[in-house]
Every structure is written in structure tokens, then in C-alpha cells.
Structure 1
């Protein structure tokens, strides 16, 4: 039964050709001990069975809402569509191939209420494409301010919860050559809002089989573009932050816990 004190959490999920994973992702939401949520799935013109699968899930659970996109615009546009349709006090983000621990929302919302936090994130574990959990756990810092965020992209989107009453209305930047989620975190923290980490492993990030070297190069390029286009950071400062980003990214991808 839902606790009468539970505020609504809007879960933002973009999908595109996610038929292999989306049902498992939805199940991890349905297994949440925190029950007052809505899951807003925006399908970005999938060409597989994704739309049919999520529509079936919507018919089985009224908390699941599906919005079909009229054209393929990319994940940032899909997330923004979901954010605009959201009704919750809280926004949480979960991509169509990632998973949550059953106590993810319960523990994180309790953490935010207790400490009067508007932006939180958690530790998360890496898993492979088959869903097998690895030994790699990304341990996050207890607090992130704007300048620290520019040095470190450690915040996992699948772990973030925002209190809209604190951070205000949000939308992800629509630069395809930028990191849209990182750009949103930058925009929020640039307003002198701080983000706080909960050191509990509450989410599972699926690493799919793409070229690791290509991913690293594209990630670095997007980070640089996000500095310049979203943060409007001048070139000398961007270079300084980029050096720090490179160090932290190497540490994150090589350290196991």
C-alpha cells in the first residue's frame, strides 16, 4: 500500500529500439518499494517491437504512460517531452536498458527529505550487455558543486533524482554534439545549487558492446562541446577543466570496488 506521505516521482525514460531490455527495465520500476510513481516512456520512433511492448505494459499498470514521438529526435528531446508531461514533485531518470535496486526510490527520497536536498545521485554498479553484474561499482562523492562538476562527470544519469520545487523547471539542452544530461546538471549547479551523493549501490548501468576506444573519444568530444556550448566556458578554463575530467574519467574506468 502507498504511504499517504509519499510524493509522486516522475520517472523519465526515452526508448529507441529497446525491445531486448525495456521489459526488464520496467520490471525494476514495478518492483520499487516506493509505489507512488509514474513512468513516462517516450518512444523515439522505434522500428522494432519496443512500442508494442511498452504499450502492453501500460495496459497492465496505469502508472506507466507511453508517448510516441512523431519523428526521431534523439534521447534529449524524448526526455524533455517526458519532463513536460510529468506531474511529480520529483524527477528521476532511467534509460531503457538500465535497472534499479528495489529500494532505489525509497532510500533516495528518504535521504533527500531528511537532508532537505534538491539534487541527489547514488553509487551504481556496471553490468554487461547480458545483464551480468560486474565487480565495478562507481563510488560517488558526497557533494558536487558547479566547479567540481566541470572536472568530473561521475554522476550517473540513472541515479539522479531532482526535486522540482528546489531546482525549478528543467529541460535538457538540445545540442546533439553535447552530453545533454551533463549539460542539464551543469545548468542546475550553475545556479548555486549543490548536488549530494548517497553512497548506496542503488542502480545498475548496462554497458553494451560498442567500441570502447570510440566511446571514450566521443565522450571526451561531447564533454568539451558541453563546456563551450552549454556552460559558455572560455577556452583556457575549459582546457583546465578538461584535464581534470580526463584524469577522473580514467580513474572511473579503471578502478574497481
Structure 2
């Protein structure tokens, strides 16, 4: 039978977290789902680990890319093979609370909406809470997302009976391909309806602090100017807001790490 929800999970060297991630899906109160895992040529034991898990759960379908090409193409391949009415995204290091799928499907059916996002909690690489919750606005349109950047992949769900499935095909960008996809949907005239309930956890791993911030900023700027083709003035405005939020998030995370280490030493 056709599942009501298709869950998309790209993996790349994810063996540390992926079993816990899949377990959080298997613990859902809504059991009518399929999981499409697309491994992007992992060099660790990710593929074999997921294969073993899938051998005991027929709802899990595992694919492997022929060449490493990034999360966007991996998610698009899963989309092309999906069967469900609702598409949801669960990255290989994130966690869903047990009633996430049921609560979100009920929310979308009741509202009659095609695009939604739940609120979420931020955790560190070890799964510890960073005491940060990001709550969704009741409604977000195209300009609203450009200027708030609140939508997070872990909380996204799309009804492909209302939203053209082709709008979920992710552009071949190395960075911000998920944001570009949400903008495609919003630009087509759909609004995102936010759930105030915290139903999932987004993992902010500590090693992300050493990532190349300049390249990340370049990716955002290219998204504004080359992908969305925003006017220069509006691009500068959006980029200034992005930079402010990035600095705030970094300062917050570093502050949490400092406090944790201080407690350990004390």
C-alpha cells in the first residue's frame, strides 16, 4: 500500500548518528511511512549500517549514488522514488519526537495547507540541549523567509497534492540548496504555515564552528544574487540580516560551550 508520508534522508559518513535518527522515525506514533535513504558515497560504514537496519524494516528503502554529488541531488533522487502524499525531511543527524509526523499531518489536514514547518530544539554533537528553541511564525511568504531565515529542513513537510512535486527538486548547489528549494515553493505562491509546537531536534555539531564561514557567506550571497536574482539593495539588506543572525547564533553557541567547560573544570 502507498504510505501517507515519504521521509527523505541523505547520508554521507553518518555512522555516528544515523541509527539514532532512524530509530526516532521508527518510534513515530504514525506508522504509515516510508524512509528513502540515499547514501552519497560514504567512506565509512554508513551504507552497511543502514542496510542492516533496512533488512529488518521493509519501510526503509536504501539507494546509493554513483558519485558524490551533495545533499541536494541525493534528496532529489529520493523524491523521484517517493510514493507518499506528504514529503518530510530528516537529515542523518537530526531527531524527531515520537508524535512529530502525526501532529504535523493532522495540522496540515485540518488547515488544508500544503507547506508547513514545526518549531525545533537545538542540540549539540552529543545530543545535549543547548537551551535554544526556534519557533516558527504562523505564516511565512517569500519575502518573509528571505528576511527571517527561520525554516529548517528537520521541520519541513510538503503535501504534493497541493504543491507541485517538481518544486521540491533541489537545485545543484553545494550550499543552501534546501533554502533555495523552500524559496521555489514560496515564490510559486504557497505560504509556509508554522507550528508553534517543538517536535524535533536539530543537531548543531561542535565541529561546525570550524567550518569555512567565508565560503558559507559566499553561498548565501550567490543564493540571493544568482539563484533568486534579487536587486542589489535588497540583497544587501537580506545579507546584513543573515550576517547578524549568524554572529548571534555563533556567539550563543560559543557561550554555551564556554559555560559547559567552566562547569566541568569547576
SS at match of 1:245: helix
1:11-30 → structure 2 map (5 Å cutoff): 11-30=7-26
Give the distance between the partners of 1:58 and 1:115, measured in 2 at CA. 34
* Higher mean C-alpha displacement, 231-240 vs 94-103: 231-240
Deviation at 1:131, TM superposition (A): 1.2
Deviation at 1:216, TM superposition (A): 4.7
Give the distance between the partners of 2:248 and 2:192, measured in 1 at CA. 21
Residue equivalent to 1:118:
114
**1:152·1:249 contact (CA, 8 Å) conserved in 2?**
no
SS at match of 1:151: helix
Backbone CA RMSD of aligned residues? 2.0
Q: Does residue 1:190 correspond to 2:187, yes or no? A: yes
Give the distance between the partners of 1:215 and 1:98, measured in 2 at CA. 22
Give the distance between the partners of 2:45 and 2:208, measured in 1 at CA. 26
Residue equivalent to 2:83:
87
Q: Does residue 1:41 correspond to 2:30, yes or no? A: no
**Number of positions where the alignment pairs a residue of Structure 1 with one of Structure 2:** 251
Give the distance between the partners of 2:11 and 2:205, measured in 1 at CA. 15
Measured against aligned partners, the alpha-carbon deviations of 1:200-224 in whole angstroms (never above 9, x if no partner) come to: 1111111112252646544332221
Q: For structure 1, which runs of at least 5 residues remain unmatched after alignment?
A: none
SS at match of 2:143: helix
Residue equivalent to 2:236:
239
Residue equivalent to 1:75:
71
The correspondence for 2:173, drawn from 167, 172, 175, is 175
Give the distance between the partners of 1:153 and 1:213, measured in 2 at CA. 22
User: Using a 3 Å threshold, how does the CA distance of structure 1 residues 96 and 201 change in structure 2: closer, same or farther?
Assistant: same
- Please give the TM-score of this superposition, normalised by the length of structure 2: 0.88
Give the distance between the partners of 1:110 and 1:210, measured in 2 at CA. 36
Give the distance between the partners of 2:146 and 2:8, measured in 1 at CA. 24
Q: For structure 2, which runs of at least 5 residues remain unmatched after alignment?
A: 254-266
Q: Does residue 1:226 correspond to 2:223, yes or no? A: yes
SS at match of 1:124: strand
- Please give the TM-score of this superposition, normalised by the length of structure 1: 0.91
